[in-house]
Amino acid sequence: MLASAPVGASEALNDLIEISSQVRNAVVFGPDGSVEASTLADEAGAELARKANDLLDAASQVREGGGAVNQLEVATAEGSVFVVRDAERTIAATTSPDPTVGLVFYDLKSCLRDAAQKPEPKRTRKKKSDGA
Amino acid sequence: MARRLLGLAGLAGVALAAAAFVRRGAGHRRERVDLYYEDGSMVSLQEGSAAAAPLLALGRETLRAAQ
């Protein structure tokens, strides 16, 4: 079930779930943590977004020189967590154990790219006036 | 005859030990954390390292949150 969200993120997440058989659940959220789209119910989606932000924060402290982490994978025996972020939003996803890492990252980046696209405005044709 | 039987028993023992080793290796998935930085560099933290432990714990919490 999708949470209420901008059309771009919801459609992108729908496409992701349709395309990727490895992704179990995913959430797209903004820099302030606000959920734009989720495969989970509202509260669970927000919790997944919070945990993903915690992961990014913890990851940024790993290297002494710092440096921003823009994608990560935590691989456990129960499954994997993927987080990918760009300038505008972040996507976090969970998968089954031993996923095809490159493929999942590719799908998540595509989803972020699609989410950034604003829905095209509907073209309206001007009616010809009778006198013209 | 006895020597041949002993040899066969030895071979069977080695085969069983090899099978157990392979099964054990396949059953235990190695846990890890891979971090990709904006500058294009990548750090892989293996299970058992001090840096990996908190991230793996957070990862498990995240998986539970998403169930």
**Mean model confidence pLDDT for chain A:** 87
Residue B19 C-alpha, separation from nearest chain A C-alpha, in angstroms:
22
Q: For residue A86, what is the nearest residue in chain B, using CA coordinates?
A: B38
Would you state the structure tokens that stand for residue A62, as one six-digit string? 């790993």
CA distance A110 to A14: 12
Largest alpha-carbon pair distance within chain A? 75
**ipTM strictly over 0.85?**
no
Query: What pLDDT digit, counting tens, does each position of B14-52 carry?
Result: 777 766 555 555 556 789 999 999 999 999 999 999 999
State whether A81 and B62 contact (CB < 8 Å).
yes
Find tokens 């829905």 and name the residue: A119
Span A36-52, pLDDT tens digits: 999 999 999 999 999 99
What helix, strand, coil percent values describe chain A, rounded to 5? 35, 25, 40
* Contact across the interface for B56 and A79, Cβ inside 8 Å: no
Q: Is pLDDT above 70 for A131?
A: no
Amino acid letter at A114?
A: D
Mean pLDDT of B45-62: 95
Of B29, B36, B63, the CB nearest to A98: B29
Token pair of A110 as six digits: 């595509």
Q: Which of A44, A67, A81 sits opposite B59 (nearest CB)?
A: A81
Residue A66 has pLDDT above 50, yes or no: yes
Tell me the shortest Cα–Cα distance from B55 to chain A, in angstroms. 7
Number of CB atoms found within 10 A of residue B66's CB: 24
Query: What whole-number distance in Å separates Cα of residue B42 and Cα of residue A76?
Result: 19
Which residue from A110, A116, A111 is spatially nearest to A39, judged by alpha carbons?
A111
